[in-house]
């Protein structure tokens, strides 16, 4: 990542006049676009104009991209395509290790730089999934302590710059009865660290999505949604293993209003029968109907 703070501020200035932040609480996650490029054996940059157009034509007004779209090579094109497709970005995904001090410092610097780049597009939050250790090795108690402290520090830096930290997870954080996820929940400051709960990854990890939603409660400021049948990801968001009506009922009862992010993903054996643009459109329609939120 070679963005300097000066470059970030210059990009903000150039984009500010064209920013039109959306008021919608629904977004689409850009990970599927990286898979789309990989399936075509093309670099991400070669499909960006096409996939940003897909998001717009599918009816989404918000998108959540990740740091892969903000390399030195792709940064300006990402900003231009957001403007050209009238897409807002209420949140941006910036991964990175947090369990060592040096790694956490690098992750924090990158997160702030990218957040500043995205601010003209309505960005108010950074989603961070602390990197796991290689080969599924569990983090030690000491590393978890460092990680929780580093997440508090990242939350402070972001808050001081008018952003919010939301912690995401995959399955490594959910093993051993969600040991790592629960450590973050119980050892970070609720005023600095919020949660982006990926409901399918909870299901993939053998836990009940509603259980973790209950535990995190008001700290859930974002959810990622997709569905599977027998844990095999579906090509679009539709009925499957997760009963999203139960999720919606709980959200209404607890008066939770997280950002709802549609995140499609394909496994190698996912049956794909339609163009991605159509899967995105159908997913948007389903999410609007079930969650009662307009994209």
pLDDT digits (tens, 9 = 90+) for 239-288: 999 999 999 999 999 999 999 999 999 999 999 999 999 999 999 999 99
Are 116 and 161 spatial neighbours (Cβ–Cβ below 8 Å)?
yes
The pLDDT tens digits for 114-127 are: 999 999 999 999 99
Architecture of domain 5-291: Alpha-Beta Barrel (3.20)
Q: Identify the pLDDT of residue 69.
A: 98
Looking at residue 20, its pLDDT comes to: 57
How much is the average pLDDT of 187-191? 98
Per-residue pLDDT averaged across 207-218, rounded?
Answer: 98
Q: What is the pTM of this model?
A: 0.93
Provide the pLDDT for residue 12.
47
Of 241, 228, 222, 239, whose CA–CA distance to 269 is shortest? 228
Q: Report d(CA 24, CA 26) in Å as an integer.
A: 5
Average pLDDT over residues 84-93: 97
| Residue 80 confidence class, pLDDT cut points 50, 70, 90 | very high
For residue 22, name the pLDDT band (cuts at 50, 70, 90).
Answer: confident
Mean per-residue pLDDT, 195-224: 98
Res 14: pLDDT: 46
Q: Please compute the mean of the pLDDT values over residues 38-52 and round it to a whole number.
A: 97
CB 233 within 8 A of CB 212: no
């Amino acid at each position: 990542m070679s963005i300097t703070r000066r470059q970030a501020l210059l990009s903000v200035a150039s984009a500010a006049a064209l920013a039109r932040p959306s008021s919608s609480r629904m977004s689409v996650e850009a990970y599927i676009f990286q898979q789309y490029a990989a399936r075509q054996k093309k670099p991400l940059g070669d499909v960006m104009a096409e996939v940003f157009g897909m998001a717009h034509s599918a009816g989404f007004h918000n998108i959540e991209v990740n740091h892969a779209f903000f390399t030195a090579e792709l940064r300006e094109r990402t900003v231009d395509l957001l403007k050209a497709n009238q897409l807002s970005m209420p949140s941006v995904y910036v991964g990175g290790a947090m369990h060592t001090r040096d790694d956490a410092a690098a992750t924090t610097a990158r997160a702030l730089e990218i957040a500043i780049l995205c601010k003209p597009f309505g960005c108010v939050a950074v989603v961070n999934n602390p990197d796991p250790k290689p080969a599924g090795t569990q983090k030690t108690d000491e590393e978890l302590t460092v990680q929780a402290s580093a997440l508090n520090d990242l939350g402070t830096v972001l808050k001081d710059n008018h952003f919010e930290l939301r912690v995401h997870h995959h399955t490594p954080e959910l093993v051993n009865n969600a040991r790592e996820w629960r450590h973050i929940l119980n050892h970070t400051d609720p005023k600095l660290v919020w949660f982006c709960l990926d409901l399918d990854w909870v299901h993939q990890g053998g836990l009940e999505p509603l259980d973790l939603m209950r535990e995190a409660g008001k700290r859930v400021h974002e959810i990622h949604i997709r569905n599977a049948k027998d844990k095999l990801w579906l090509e679009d968001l539709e009925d499957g293993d997760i009963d999203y009506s139960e999720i919606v009922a709980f959200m209404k009862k607890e008066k939770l209003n997280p950002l709802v992010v549609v995140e499609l993903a394909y496994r190698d054996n996912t049956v794909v029968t339609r163009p991605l643009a159509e899967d995105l459109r159908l997913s948007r329609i389903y999410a609007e109907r079930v969650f009662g939120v307009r994209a």
